[in-house]
Structure 1
Amino acid sequence: MAKHKKLSLIVVVLWMALIFSLSHQPASKSSEMSSGITKFVIEAAEQILPVAETDFDQFEHIVRKNAHFFIYLILGILVIHASGGSGSHSFKRIGLAVSICVLYAMSDEFHQLFILGRSGEVRDVLIDSSGASLGIILYWFASKMLRRNKQNVLHHEQVRG
């Protein structure tokens, strides 16, 4: 296995471990962390738009759900990259990457059933899966564009050379 591939897989496992550790926090600690992030975002927004009024609880809920989405968006990117990105059989790789992320999201929510004050939510699996899917699609399109750009550069060099 190539060194780059091993490193990519290690990064995926480390990211999954981060997700696991965040999910393993009791509800009180998780809520404390998201409240801190929410307060920071609200205070920063008030510096930009001093007249903005914000319902803290509603905004905190949005922050929590967006955290699910973006954490899994990154997981999706990492998984598709570790699988070899795009190229031959890219739709198989996309399917595999989506499957890995969805299964991990399901296992993560199942894991939370055993954590004090936490629950497993189908809605969170859908949010996680949507984030991972978007990350995978963005990575695939970016890879495709980079490959096309590289081919154009090579073609122009051949024409000039």
Structure 2
Amino acid sequence: MRRFVWLLLLIVFVAFIFYNSSMPAAESHRASELVGSILTGMGKWFGIDVPQQNLDYNIRKLAHFLEFAILGVILCNVYAAFGVSHRTATGYILFLGLAVAVSDEYIQLHAPGRSALVTDVILDFSGVFFIWLTREVWSWAKR
């Protein structure tokens, strides 16, 4: 049962990533501005000045990394749930992370006002790679 829950979560989360990529630029910017205004408000509440310069850009880049870091967690757990060895899972996790990142940017090519960037593919893949590497280091440290 646990296997299929992780597999279902993987499918739903990849669909969520692709849905975000298919949003038109104006709608995507509004979402980033909303997060920016929340962060600014929280910063004021804590007495921290949140610089507005490039805030939208930084939020968007952080979202790329975090989305794919979550994808990395899900991928690692899918392969662990199915009992796939670390060595075999490594190739699948990294390949699928890269494939979703490339597909994500390809989808953005067809969204109004959006474009695909190689740097975003690298940033996306970095999120998956970071989680995979953290998992490997953790596993190595436990031995």
Q: Percent identity?
A: 25
Are residues 88 and 79 of structure 1, via their aligned partners in 2, closer, same or farther at CA, if it must alter by over 3 Å? closer
- Superposed, 1:77-88 pairs within 5 Å as 77-84=73-80
Paired residue total: 143
Tell me how far apart the structure 1 counterparts of residues 26 and 111 of structure 2 sit (CA, whole Å): 11
Matching residue of 1:13: 11
Matching residue of 1:40: 38
Larger Rg: 1
Are residues 121 and 74 of structure 1, via their aligned partners in 2, closer, same or farther at CA, if it must alter by over 3 Å? same
Tell me how far apart the structure 1 counterparts of residues 134 and 50 of structure 2 sit (CA, whole Å): 34
1:93 equivalent among 89, 94, 102: 89
Q: Can you list the C-alpha shifts for 1:66-87, whole angstroms capped at 9, x where unaligned?
A: 00000100001101110127x8
Q: TM-score, normalised by structure 2?
A: 0.89
Q: Note if 1:110 corresponds to 2:124.
A: no
For structure 2, list consecutive stretches of 5 or more residues without a partner in the other structure: none
| RCO higher in structure (CA 8 A, sep ≥6) | 2
Tell me how far apart the structure 1 counterparts of residues 36 and 142 of structure 2 sit (CA, whole Å): 40
Matching residue of 2:58: 62
- Equivalent position amino acid for 2:100 in 1: Y
User: Is the Cα–Cα contact under 8 Å of residues 25 and 114 in structure 2 kept in the other structure?
Assistant: yes
List structure 1 runs of 4+ shifted beyond 3 angstroms. Answer: 139-142, 145-148
Matching residue of 2:71: 75
How well do the aligned residues superpose, as a CA RMSD in angstroms? 2.3
3-state DSSP of counterpart to 1:119: coil
Are residues 81 and 141 of structure 1, via their aligned partners in 2, closer, same or farther at CA, if it must alter by over 3 Å? farther
Instruction: Quote the offset at 1:146 in angstroms.
Output: 9.6
Tell me how far apart the structure 2 counterparts of residues 11 and 120 of structure 1 sit (CA, whole Å): 26
Instruction: Quote the offset at 1:145 in angstroms.
Output: 7.2
Q: Note if 1:136 corresponds to 2:117.
A: no
Matching residue of 1:152: none
Q: Note if 1:120 corresponds to 2:102.
A: no
